[in-house]
Every structure is written in structure tokens, then in C-alpha cells.
Structure 1
Amino acid sequence: MTLILRRGDLEPLVDMRATIEAVDAAMGDVARGTAVQPAPALMRLPGSDSGFLPMAAASQRAGLAAVKLLADVPANAEHGLPTQRSSIVLVSTDTGEVLAVLDGAIPTRIRTAAATAVATRHLARPGSTTLGLVGAGALAVAHVTAMLEVLPIATVHFWTRSRATAHGFQKAIEQHGLKVRLLESPHAVAQSVDVLCTLTPAVEPVVHGASFVPGLHVNAVGARPRPDHREVDTEAILRSRVFVDSLPTVRQKSGDIVIPVNEGALRFDDLEGELGSVIAGLHPGRKSEDDITLFKSVGLGLQDLAIGRLLVDAALATGRGVHVDLRS
């Protein structure tokens, strides 16, 4: 039987602390050789700006193979529809049975925040107390929740173009009891924080390396998975020790990295390497208090797999979802 989990089934099952630990273990497993994470191939039809990205992975730890199909349809914005949609299929590595099919919106949101928290745990200064956010939508709310699990955050500085979004963000995180300030620019945010997260669907840079201060850790998260889209400029990459979630994936679909390489300012070999190698103890993370570190997050099918395992187990324990016999 296959378990079908809709968005409404998944929301009550989210456990951010458990999600962070699952993503941490999964990313380390790639470096340890007990998980497989191939680079995805972006599919586009002639004359269309839409992209379709199958994100596959397999994990010995979870006993699963998985694929998430991400549909990136920018034109949806004109019709009030989500520009990105996804679904996740989980398959048993023992029997090949399709164990579950999940709506991808909630797993994507929480896995993105969890991956940022994992990177911050391993790369930021341990005593960091001030979090900066460029962008203040649902992903920013999830990032605050995740960061509180790994750092003693007391203050949040953020920037957004929309006053309505700013108000909604402040209301959404008020239960945490943090000191929250809306600043006038991304530059002002970057100059005033210990950890900076960029969370916008930008095409051109909104954050510049000239704003970076010694000791800063940056998570570049929001740009779409396209080689011509980026949130941070070339100077930001050149001033930082850069870690990524997947080198093959970054080479194909991260404009934050691909554009500086195409400019001749950077080589892929200049990157520090994958975060999983830091987690597994195979590569050093932060080397000094003054290091500027940057984690480029493009998102991995293995992260979706790890979170899918958690959500399916929680759904089975609580009786959520619908069971379907796909063979009948």
C-alpha cells in the first residue's frame, strides 16, 4: 500500500529539531559513501521559460530511494499561482515498493531552513547571537525557527521591500521573544549581524560582498536553481570561503557560482568543497574568528528523502494520510 500525504496532512507533523538532525546525517552520509546524490538535469521545452527538475537520491540509512519533481513556472505569478510546485515519491530500497507520495511544498520549505541551520552549525561562530534576513516571507519564518535550534539567537535584523510582508513576518515570529528590527537596506543588515541569510527569488544580486564584515557567515538560499540567477555578487563569493551542498549540482544550476566562473573571476576548484565533508570530519570548516564563510544552498533530493522518511514515520504513527493500492 502507498501512503498519500497532502499538504494539510504534513503541516502538523513538522518537527524542526528532528529535521535538522536528519538533514545533518544525510549530508554527512554522502561524504561517508552511504548515500547517493546524483546531479539533477533541468528539463526545458523549446520556447518555454518553465523548468522541470527531477531530484533523485538513495539512502542506506533511510532505506529509501526517492525523487522529487520540481516544476519551476515563473509565468504562474501573473495568474496568482505558485511559481514552484513539487511532489515527492519514496520507494523502499528493499522491495522497490512505492511507500509514499507527498506534496512537496512543506518538505521543501522545512528542508531548506534545516539545511541552512546545519551549515550554520558547522560554519558560523558558535556564540553568534544576531541573525540577518534579506527577505521576509514564509521561508524567513522557517529560518528563524531553525536557527534557534543551533545558535543562541537573541536579535533578528531583516529587510524586505514590502511593509505588509514585514508586518506579517514580525507577527509570525513574535512568540520567540526576539528583538526584531526592520532595516533600510540589505547592506545595513549585512553590516550588523553575525549570520546572514539571503532568501529572495532574485535574478540580479541584492547582497554585495563589499557589505561583508570579518567573522560573518552567509547562507545564500533564495535564488532559483538556474545558472543565470543569483542573489550575491562576485565580490561576495571571492571574499568568502565557499561551501556548497553538492558540487555537481552547483556546477549546473547555481548562478551565484556559475556567473563568477564564467566571468573568469573564480574556478570551481577554488570552492572549499561540500558541506557533507565538513560534517563527516573530512574537511575543515571555519578556521578563525575572522573567516567569512558562505554556504551556497541549491537543495538536494537527499534532503527531501531524509525529511520524507521523518514525515512518513510520523504520519503512520498518528494515522494521517490515505493508503492507496497502486496495483489495483
Structure 2
Amino acid sequence: MSKKVDFLYLSESDMIKAGVLDMGRCMASMEEMFRLLQREDYRMGGQGNEHGMRVLFPKSSEVEGMPLHEPDRRFMIMPAYLGGRFRKFGIKSYGSNPRNKEEGLPRSILMMSLLDVDTGIPMAYMSANLLSAMRTAAVSGVAARHLSREGTETLAVIGPGAMARYAMMAFLEVRPQITTVKIKGRSQKGIRQFIEFCKEHFPQIQHYQVCSEIQEACEESDIIYFGTTNAQVYEENPQIKEEWIKKGALVISVSALLTEAKLLASPNVKLVADHYRMYEDWGEGRQRPVQKHVSTLLGMGFYDAVCEGAIQREKIVDMGEILNGQAHGRDNDEEIIFFAEGGLPVEDVAWACDCYDAAREMQIGTSLNLWDIPAMQ
């Protein structure tokens, strides 16, 4: 006998009440997700490791009303299954348009669906802008917890946009002794807003240094965080050079970053990926950069360097291996560590599940009816 089906709708305010901004809980959720990832208790798109599927628009079209291509103009879906205590299927979807800001809207508007993995019954449909920002920042925080040096005091932020603010929450969660923040941004307005946010939320930070060059920001920094958006022209993406990096520093890339493969191959450099197999699947059949031994998106740079023979696959460690005790995090205070973070759909599922469970426990959200009895049987 068919049963009535309801699902829970969670608005952005509902999500906030349910604790979507709880960085400590989010980081714990991400660590559990990484352990399950390494144990193969997950599936992502395609054969199991794809980042997602996006729809790009043509540069020109004779079709009336057809949206045209411009940077960050796209629609995307990111499906995934995550096992363990989560055991749910989820789909994050979003539309992105840089012109949204002219309308007082975020550039990207995201939604998240949770489905029962056995029946496909929808369980929740929720606002996902904050969810997505938090899981991205939490992964950077997990990297800082396990890969940065004890006693870390100086943080460099290249790209002080909205995402960097959430990353600050994660960094200060695991390294509360950070007292100096060096900032390299494109606009004075963005830099000012970032500093105002930090002063309000992190009074322990004593020094802010606005830098005119990336090199200045990187030098003598214990953690170097790259959170810029991808440039339209390949060569205009930010880059980092070995001589800029302090011994023992952690470099975190959540966006495009240029570096030479010989730096990645250095014996004093450790390479850690969120999930290297995603970059392998992403890179299959992809035309690699014309500039040999130079990478753009850092995770893809790991893949490119392996394909070119510049580094051995065994040099790359996954975060799940570290959390499951199958590999070391930081070996000593001298090594430089690069962490590549490309965004995994299973991250969204993990944090969505925890927010959904909290909302149910707190009786937050709106119950919506799918059917009392399905018309199609």
C-alpha cells in the first residue's frame, strides 16, 4: 500500500537556526566524510568520482533569448551518495551569474536536495549558499588542523572575498593563536570589508597588513590561503614561487593557482589532495596547459605533473589517508605542504545531513506534501 510522502523545506533562516554556521560541527562532519571517502563508502557522478555536471552557454547565438557565455555564467549540479551514518543521496544545484550583484543578489544561488537512497523519496530541500560556503571553509580548516605547524601565527589571504570570511572562521577554530593576517586583494572596498568582518569576529587578531603583491603576502606566512576566482586569461591567475614560501608553510588552494611542477616535485614539499581520484576523472581526455610543467587549478596541477612525469603518483596523499592513519600529515616543521581543495559533492551531503537532523530535532522548517497517494503507480 502506497504511503503518504512529505519532505522538509529549510529556508536560509531555518538553516541558520539549525546550526549551519557552526564551524566546529561542520569540521567534524568533514573529517568523518573524508574517512568514509577513503573507505570507498561513497559515490559521486559518472563512474564515481566526478565533481559534477555544468551547463555552459555559447559565446554567440542566433536563438532569441539564449543566455550568452561570460565568466561564472553557468548552471551546475553536483550529485553524490555518502554512506556511514549519513547513508543518503544528495544533489546540490546552482545557477551563477555575475550580473546578479546588480540586482542585489549573490552571484550564485544554491539549493540542496536530500533523498532516501533506497526509495528515492525526497527527504529535504534546503537553502545551500551558507551550507556550501561552510563546507568549503571547513575543509580548509581540516587542512590547517592536520597540516599546519603548531604555533602558527601568521596567515596570508589572497582573495579576501566572501569565501575567505568563512575560511577565517575555520582557521581561527583550529589555530586561535593567529595574530597577524596579511591580505592581497583586488579592490580596496573588498579588503576593507574583510578587515571589518575580522575585527568584529576575531578580536584576538592584532595586526593586519595589506599587501600590494602576492609575494609580499606569502613571505613569512605560516598558512597561505588562495581563494580568488578563476581569471579569464590563464596567465592572469595568481602564482606562487618557491622562494616566496617560508619553510614549514602550508599553502591551501581552493581556486586557480599557477606554480611550477618542479616546486611540486621538490623533496621538501608534500602534496595533499582532498581526493586525487576526482582530478584523475576530471582530467581524463582533458587538454593540458600548453605551458609545460606549469599548473593552473592546483589539484589539476597535481594531475598534470603526474601525467608529464614531473612527479610520481605516490607523492600525492589524500586527506582521508591521513585521517584514517594510513599516511602522515606533517612530518616535520621544515617541509612545505600544498593542499588542493576542489570541492567534493559528498561534502555537501555530509553537512546537509547534519543540518537536516538538527532541524528535525529542533522542529525547524516547513513540511511539504509530495503526495498522499501517488497518481502514477
TM-score, normalization by structure 2 = 0.77
2:16 maps to: 11
CA–CA distance in 2 between the matches of 1:102 and 1:268? Answer: 42
2:222 equivalent to 1:161: no
Equivalent residue in structure 2 for 1:23, among 30, 36, 43: 30
CA–CA distance in 1 between the matches of 2:272 and 2:7? Answer: 37
2:225 maps to: 197
2:157 maps to: 133
Encode CA deviations 1:59-118: one digit per residue, 9 max, x unaligned.
Answer: 222132212124455676787754433221112336543111112211110001100011
* More helix by percentage: 1
2:271 equivalent to 1:242: yes
2:250 equivalent to 1:217: yes
| Contact 2:270–2:335 (8 Å) recurs in 1 | yes
2:327 maps to: 283
Q: 1:7 to 1:93 in 2, by over 3 A?
A: same
Quick one: which amino acid aligns to residue 109 of structure 1?
A
Equivalent residue in structure 2 for 1:318, among 337, 352, 362: 362
2:257 equivalent to 1:231: yes
Q: Secondary structure at the match of 1:326?
A: strand
Deviation at 1:194, TM superposition (A): 0.4
Q: Secondary structure at the match of 1:10?
A: helix
2:312 equivalent to 1:305: no
CA–CA distance in 1 between the matches of 2:301 and 2:134? Answer: 28
1:255 maps to: 297
Equivalent residue in structure 1 for 2:240, among 188, 208, 211: 208
Quick one: which amino acid aligns to residue 246 of structure 1?
H
Task: Give ranges in structure 1 of 5+ residues lacking alignment.
Answer: 224-229
TM-score, normalization by structure 1 = 0.87
2:55 equivalent to 1:39: no
Quick one: which amino acid aligns to residue 321 of structure 1?
G
Quick one: which amino acid aligns to residue 179 of structure 1?
Q
Q: 1:47 to 1:308 in 2, by over 3 A?
A: same
| Contact 1:68–1:301 (8 Å) recurs in 2 | yes
Deviation at 1:220, TM superposition (A): 0.1
CA–CA distance in 2 between the matches of 1:120 and 1:195? Answer: 8
Encode CA deviations 1:100-137: one digit per residue, 9 max, x unaligned.
Answer: 11122111100011000111111111221221111112
2:140 equivalent to 1:116: yes
Encode CA deviations 1:143-187: one digit per residue, 9 max, x unaligned.
Answer: 111111112322222111211111111111113111231222221
CA–CA distance in 1 between the matches of 2:309 and 2:103? Answer: 39
| Contact 2:276–2:299 (8 Å) recurs in 1 | no
Deviation at 1:51, TM superposition (A): 5.1
Percent of aligned pairs with the same amino acid: 22
Question: What is the alpha-carbon root mean square deviation over aligned residues?
Answer: 2.6
CA–CA distance in 1 between the matches of 2:247 and 2:110? Answer: 38
| Contact 1:133–1:158 (8 Å) recurs in 2 | yes
| Contact 1:209–1:237 (8 Å) recurs in 2 | no
Quick one: which amino acid aligns to residue 313 of structure 2?
D
CA–CA distance in 2 between the matches of 1:70 and 1:283? Answer: 35
1:179 maps to: 206
Task: Give ranges in structure 2 of 5+ residues lacking alignment.
Answer: 1-5, 60-68, 284-295, 373-377
Equivalent residue in structure 2 for 1:57, among 71, 81, 88: 81
Equivalent residue in structure 1 for 2:216, among 162, 165, 188: 188
CA–CA distance in 2 between the matches of 1:82 and 1:143? Answer: 18
Count of residue correspondences? 321
Deviation at 1:10, TM superposition (A): 1.8
